[in-house]
Structure 1
């Protein structure tokens, strides 16, 4: 197991080179050495809810521009089809068959990270980065001074929600700033506070690179926007929740634009990599109709499903030095920690499930991999190996009988998962499930001692 660094014990690495300013260009063939990093995580944004993936009803011009100028990952996968385990995979480099948090609370206690969990924030702190998490952390308990708090998991600055359930309130009674609560009394729209705080963090004067992790709550349900005004969607012949959901996606797009504008205004865009993605597929909660927006694109399923629509997510990597391209090889959330370690000049921790995606940013392409794994304990599991994907339902789940149910899909010929081939290819299905079982188990990480 890893001895993950806490806020009190992190060492300070080498300082960064001076920042470069000036307008953005595409002169170089990849990201700069030890770049600033901004990781933007949307909440329940579907693969098809952005223009660069074919969305025609909701406008996302700023994200579309980043996608056109950067690397668009055509087959990017979240860590899980719902919040907490997906974020755990993103932060720790482990899929949900190995990670500490493998389930959402679902009526029980909030799952927590532990002292064993080295996050990408911890790695970047060890590399000498100024680190911040602003937005929805998503792991309890909702208390300071405990191992699952962002300050203890590698983020020197934290502003937002600690726990999962409180983040469902767009006008909260309070937010956390590090180890103290900030009273708000339900008068402030949380995403606006996150954006302003993030812009200030970006523009802060410093002599070392920074990592900003920006897990916004947009566009998670409920569909709440300031004043209830859906802006350009107010007069559309839709239900109120659908109009306001579209407006939430528009606000998300504008918030990303504000962060990029802050990078440009402060002369730091040239030395920054921006990664944008979503924690899982689109939701259908509190009156929102994903079919209206074609939110999952050509895929089947949405949030909570291990069909492609629940785990295939939009992903962009943008930097002025990165040439525009489309990466078609599958990548996953557990690749983010190894990628950021690589970009920061740090050794990649041993025993992770992820691999560095530096090659995707330099034009060499994402690495080939053996398989991808998803695990919802006691409910459903899935494995993708090349063109083939197997999904296994536990007894009684999603209509499965007392022996459960196995489905097999050829994603090359059937990306929408409409033709179950398990009966026609039982040997292949059994082989994939055996590999899936071997991939699920205890934490495989090794102690991390890079300095």
Structure 2
């Protein structure tokens, strides 16, 4: 049975007291009640956190997907607990990752929106930020991140190596990560050149190109598919650190646009779906002859990468010592943007909203946890949980409850994973300056949402998620007391940000410079 209250320090004190009161006698030079040798402490569990990019609530077979094959992820989910009401940190990638890493909800987090810093960086985490990798590294964990970082680039305080990541391989900047055949990747703090031609991830077909000829699209490919290289390095990290506890953060870029996948993956879906017309690149990102097959093949590619990670851990005999978490950073893209067709795949099932929205479709994620021998297989939880909860939960599971910072918003749901009855979360708060400015809070079955806050104050919409999962019936007018209660929470939980202000919440917003005539 797992434990969170009984810390290592408390255990040591108890043992000392027991030894003082135990009867003592000398036998062959040793005292009864004491062991001749100290027992070797049990290894702390490895933590493998698998994070998809723009994957919808319904994009995996274990969450209802019928067209895309995800056998390895489905099996991992069956072997663990599915979290049916788990929410990403925010509605787009960088602020969502910030919530995950710091345990702070978006009203208190440092990074609250995607904000590019040229040439190739996002708004960085400050130096000294208390993060999950920092706390695990201080407890003796090897820490590795493989994929898209998005929390600070070269020569900033947010670089992975400055944020307690021992080994990094992938993309610093999410803008570069829009191309799966980049000209380089970062290996720690150095650029590794790749054998790929240079082309932008938002290129269009040249005038007069034959959109039905597969050869037309060959110019948007290369020799080295970045996600495969990143998976190789993740597997190598496991081998290199098999003798010590490790934290493997795997924030893959899949299935974020652009639509790109090697031919060997695309072949599995050849002719599987109607593809007329091909995607010509007119709605941003790269064209593709068979966009539906490409999207499905990309998700299946992610599934195979997870399978490789699991197989390596299993081969080394570390399965029972490893916690697996799978989730996504935010919901899927709006239908047919960049060639995607989320309606066709029912990527968000019946949920309202897409990426960039605080409605359910933008922030409720396909999430599961597996720990062989510790978490009951085939179980589900409907407890409301969010990305800020992972920091305390994973530290609890690792026996590091004493390392959990006091001033965080996350609440450990270790008891839920153990199958115990746990009090409901008091509330789950979200805010997002982007996509018009938004704010939401969920308390039990009730969810309040505000939209268009970038323009000024906005009315509260109210939905009963238990009765109206699709958020189609605004019942604010019929429930003024509930609206007032949730409004008070939203006001209390928003800490103004100079870097990410929201006008409708009373934040001072810098004036927009006048355009030159």
Q: TM-score range by the shorter chain?
A: 0.7 to 0.9
Q: 1:208 maps to what in 2?
A: 244
The answer as to 2:85 corresponding to 1:75 is: yes
8 Å CA contact retained: 2:117, 2:123: no
The answer as to 2:423 corresponding to 1:373 is: no
Matches within 5 A, 1:301-450: 301-321=353-373, 322-324=375-377, 325-346=379-400, 347=402, 348-365=404-421, 367-377=423-433, 379-395=437-453, 403-441=457-495
- Tell me which of 124, 143, 147 is aligned to 1:112: 124
8 Å CA contact retained: 1:85, 1:104: yes
SS in 1 for 2:441: strand
TM-score normalized by the length of structure 2 = 0.76
- Tell me which of 216, 226, 237 is aligned to 2:262: 226
Q: 1:272 maps to what in 2?
A: 322
8 Å CA contact retained: 2:265, 2:301: no
- Tell me which of 221, 225, 231 is aligned to 1:195: 231
CA spacing shift, 1:395–1:343, aligned 2, 3 Å: closer
Aligned counterparts of 1:73 and 1:261: Cα–Cα separation in 2: 24
8 Å CA contact retained: 2:424, 2:444: no
- CA-CA distance at 1:33 after TM superposition: 6.2
8 Å CA contact retained: 1:394, 1:405: no
Q: Which has the higher contact order (CA 8 A, sep 6+)?
A: 1
Q: 2:338 maps to what in 1?
A: 286
Q: 2:144 maps to what in 1?
A: 132
TM-score normalized by the length of structure 1 = 0.86
SS in 1 for 2:339: coil
Asked which structure has the greater CA Rg, the reply is 2
- CA-CA distance at 1:86 after TM superposition: 0.5
- CA-CA distance at 1:354 after TM superposition: 0.5
8 Å CA contact retained: 1:139, 1:164: no
- CA-CA distance at 1:163 after TM superposition: 1.5
Q: 1:122 maps to what in 2?
A: 134
Aligned counterparts of 1:242 and 1:249: Cα–Cα separation in 2: 11
- CA-CA distance at 1:430 after TM superposition: 2.6
8 Å CA contact retained: 1:331, 1:366: no
Q: 2:71 maps to what in 1?
A: 61
Aligned counterparts of 2:138 and 2:446: Cα–Cα separation in 1: 39
Aligned counterparts of 1:154 and 1:80: Cα–Cα separation in 2: 23
Aligned length: 409
Aligned counterparts of 2:459 and 2:116: Cα–Cα separation in 1: 23
SS in 2 for 1:74: strand
CA spacing shift, 1:354–1:442, aligned 2, 3 Å: farther
Structure 1 stretch displaced more, 200-209 or 351-360: 200-209
- CA-CA distance at 1:404 after TM superposition: 2.7
8 Å CA contact retained: 2:242, 2:316: no
SS in 1 for 2:78: helix
